[in-house]
Amino acid sequence: MHSTKQVIQNPGPVILDVVGLELDEVDAKRISHPLTGGVILFGRNFKSRSQLKKLTDQIKSIRTDVLICIDHEGGRVQRCKQDGFTHLPAMRRLGDLWVKGGSGAQSAIVAMKSATACGYVLAAELRACGVDFSFTPVLDLDFGNSSVIGDRSFHRQPEIVFALAKSLNEGLRLAGMANCGKHFPGHGWAAADSHIAVPVDERSLKVIECDDMKPYEWLDLSLASVMPAHVIYPKVDQLPAGFSKIWLQKILRKQLKFEGVIFSDDLSMEGASVAGNVVQGAQLALEAGCDSVLICNRPDLADQLLSNLKVSNSKLAESANRLSRLFPTTQNPSWDSLQSEPEYLHAKNLLKQFDLIK
């Protein structure tokens, strides 16, 4: 593949994926499009650390201002697991650590220190391979209803979710990575999986505010970005949260005073189907208050989006300004140097001490 570096200093509002282990001409063309602002990687894009680093270098050689993202939470949602990557625990393991010792302060401290260590290892390893950002942590409460959330949640209690998420976010920050709380205002109650269905949560706004939304309220300025749920809360709005001005502008922006980035969840998911086709969905999400929209696993729809999405210059500037805050501000470490870094070794030893990693 031959391409010249295209420097566009304004990341666009579309985050899309690439097909394989290296870029082809079509991938490069999509990345070069001015509406593109990020690339999200999946398991199919990872074979080894060296291959991943080559892929991220290829992406940045086309444009330096695209955010290279990944869903890398730990547990069953971790795209890179081999070739030296630490297989991190599901977040429920950290919640279990908290309650293991009863209500004593010591067990809470152990759990929070472990969460910080998880965040540090997660971010440091990804950054050593050229990945800028991971969509983590999950702030959903574990009501035992949702199989798609399940052990991705820290705990049922919002106080524990807040404390562990704040600790994990600190680990991410120490390794130079921003965070993303998901799925606002909460995906833990609705049983349906928004990848294949349209979940509905019949609870009142007051109940959700007093429970699911608390981690978002308490995290406040430490929350860099948020991803809303493809869930309909009919007591509040007939549209899923990610397409709702009530949820995003009235509640998240004005009531909670959130100033960070709002990402849509994947527009190819069934939960987004109520918004119409991919272009209509993206338009609705951006008008509702999203800064960036994701389209995953459907390159044909990505092409439709890039060809037909209309975004005002003021919206483009606003979104670019927010997105630019998520880029790492320090140089990525090399993998070899990371292996002797005291903070990284300390974090891994801490996780081994509490049997969270092998």
Question: Which position among 195, 220, 300, 346 bears the catalytic label?
Answer: 195
Distance CA 86, CA 74 (A): 9
Distance CA 150, CA 335 (A): 32
The Cα diameter of the chain in Å comes to 60
Residue 243 contacts by C-beta under 8 Å, 6 or more apart in sequence?
A: 272, 274, 275, 281, 284, 285, 288
Q: Decide if 142 is catalytic.
A: no
Distance CA 182, CA 226 (A): 6
The CA-based angle 355-46-57, given to 5 degrees, is 115
Q: Decide if 195 is catalytic.
A: yes
Question: How many of the other CB atoms lie within 10 Å of CB of 196?
Answer: 10
Distance CA 294, CA 257 (A): 24
Distance CA 277, CA 267 (A): 9
Question: Which position among 140, 142, 265, 266 bears the catalytic label?
Answer: 265
Q: Which residues are catalytically annotated?
A: 195, 265
